[in-house]
């Protein structure tokens, strides 16, 4: 399995410095502060992408922000789930259908969806971390027969702040995947799990010696999750994380997204754990 996840050498924009103009086709509200935008180019069709990659979305005159793809490869549009946490993301989250937006991409490395064929798949998502994993889930479900057991473990703050809840319920209705959901706290009408996501791992139904894990969420949650996966027997080479750092150029030239030896924009965001194990717990690296 390649060190960086799926080799995405052929999936690069023509001129990576200059944004292409896209139109917002659809806006759906996910949570109080989170929307999903469907974006299509003003002319031509969007470039292909690999699950796990991201685009730089440009709000006119304000700035850019890196947002992972969270749509289906089969879909015409780029689908991006955006949370309002700052000037740029706030402006983007307020766009209405018909508005235009700049887009550079796709950039970065993808989930090892192809390389993991034949293995059990364990997907562990925390909060908004489910968004960058969703394209991988679509891919895996579309080719379900190529994988062993498929387990999705998802943690949210509470039941009303659960991303893609309807889709999770739909997936749950399938007979060939296990989905366990948990929340940090809840009130009595919640009959599901309460507790942290790593606590779901010991009971999850997969073979740790045949499994590949895909993890995305807040870094603290990913650290605990990696520990729990290794406690049940997964090796560092079978665990993949999506890392996050601020990006400016997204093409490995500005230096901002450096994480140890890696540039998160081009050596990530999806990284195999053994590559970063040495610095993962070093403070302020």
Partner 1 sequence: MATLEQILQEHPFFVDAPAELVRLVAGCARNHIFHAGEYLFHEGEPANEFFLIRQGKVALEIDAPGHAPIIFETSGVGDFVGASWLIPPYRWVFDARAVELTRATGIDAACLRGKCEADHDLGYEMMKRFLPVLVRRLHATRLQVLDVYGRH
Partner 2 sequence: MVSAAAQGMMTVSRAALQALLDALAENHEVVGPTVRDGAIVYDRITRLADLPAGWTDHQAPGRYHLERRHDDALFGFTVGPQAWKRFLHRPVETLWTIRKGENGVTVESDTGTVPKFAFIGVRACELQAIAIQDRVFSQGPYPDMAYTMRRQSAFIVAVNCGQAGETCFCVSMETGPKAESGFDLALTELIDGDSHQFLVEVGSDAGAEILKRVPRRSATDQEIAKAAAVVARTENQMGRSLETEGLRELLLGNLNHPRWDDVAERCLTCGNCTMVCPTCFCTTIEDHSDLSGTSAERVRKWDSCFTMDFSFIHGGSVRKTPRSRYRQWMTHKLATWIDQFGTSGCVGCGRCITWCPVGIDITVEAAAIRANPQPQTGRRHGDP
Dihedral angle sign, alpha carbons of residues 205, 209, 210, 212: positive
Site string for partner 2, 253-282 (x = CB under 8 A): xxxxxx-xx-x--x-------x--xxx-xx
Residue 13 as a binder of partner 1 (CB under 8 A): the answer is no
| Cis peptide bond prior to 106, omega within 30° of 0 | yes
Residue 19 as a binder of partner 2 (CB under 8 A): the answer is yes
Q: Quick one: tokens of 182?
A: 């948990």
- For partner 1, give the closer residue by CB, 157 or 230: 157
Least CB distance to partner 2 at residue 3 (A):
12
Least CB distance to partner 2 at residue 79 (A):
21
Site string for partner 2, 35-74 (x = CB under 8 A): -------x---------------x-xxxxx----------
Dihedral angle sign, alpha carbons of residues 50, 54, 58, 59: positive
Least CB distance to partner 1 at residue 35 (A):
15
Please choose, out of 112-120, 124-132, 139-147, 263-271, the segment that lies near partner 1 by the rule CB under 8 A. Answer: 124-132
Contacts of 253 (CB under 8 A, 6+ apart): none
**According to CB under 8 A, which one of 218, 236, 252, 260 is a site residue for partner 1?**
218
DSSP code, position 184:
S
Taking phi first (over 0 means left), then psi (-120 to 50 degrees means alpha), and beta for anything else, what does residue 284 get?
left
The edge-to-edge listing of strands for the beta sheet with 100-107 is: 63-68, 54-59, 100-107, 20-31, 34-41, 78-83
Task: Of 101, 103, 75, give the one whose Cα is nearest residue 23.
Answer: 101
- For partner 1, give the closer residue by CB, 94 or 144: 94
The site for partner 1 (CB under 8 A) is made up of 33, 83, 85, 126-128, 155-157, 161, 182, 184-188, 190-196, 198-199, 203, 217-218, 220-221, 224
């Amino acid at each position: 399995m390649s060190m960086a996840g799926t080799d995405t050498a052929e999936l690069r924009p023509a001129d990576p410095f200059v944004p292409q103009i896209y139109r917002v086709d659809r806006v759906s509200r996910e949570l109080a502060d989170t929307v999903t935008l469907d974006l299509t180019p003003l002319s031509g069709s969007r470039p292909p992408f690999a699950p796990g990659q991201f685009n730089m979305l440009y709000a006119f005159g304000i700035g850019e922000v890196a947002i992972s793809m969270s749509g289906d490869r089969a879909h015409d549009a780029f689908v991006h789930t955006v949370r309002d946490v700052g000037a740029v993301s706030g402006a983007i989250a307020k766009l209405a259908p018909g508005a235009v937006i700049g887009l550079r991409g796709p950039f970065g490395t993808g989930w090892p969806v192809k390389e993991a064929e034949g293995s059990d798949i364990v997907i562990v998502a925390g909060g908004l971390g489910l968004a960058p994993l969703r394209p991988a889930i679509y891919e895996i479900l579309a080719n379900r027969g190529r994988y062993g057991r498929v387990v999705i473990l998802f943690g949210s703050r509470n039941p009303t702040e659960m991303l893609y809840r309807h889709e999770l319920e739909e997936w749950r209705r399938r007979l060939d995947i296990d989905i366990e959901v948990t929340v940090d706290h809840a009130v009595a009408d919640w009959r599901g799990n309460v507790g942290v996501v790593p606590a779901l791992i010991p009971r999850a139904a997969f073979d740790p010696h045949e499994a590949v894990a895909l993890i995305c969420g807040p870094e603290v949650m990913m650290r605990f999750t990696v520990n729990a996966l290794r406690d049940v027997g997964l090796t560092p080479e079978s665990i993949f994380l999506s890392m996050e750092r601020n990006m400016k150029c997204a093409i490995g030239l500005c230096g901002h997204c450096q994480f140890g030896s890696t540039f998160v924009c081009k050596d990530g965001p999806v990284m195999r754990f053994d590559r970063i194990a040495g610095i993962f717990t070093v403070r302020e690296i």
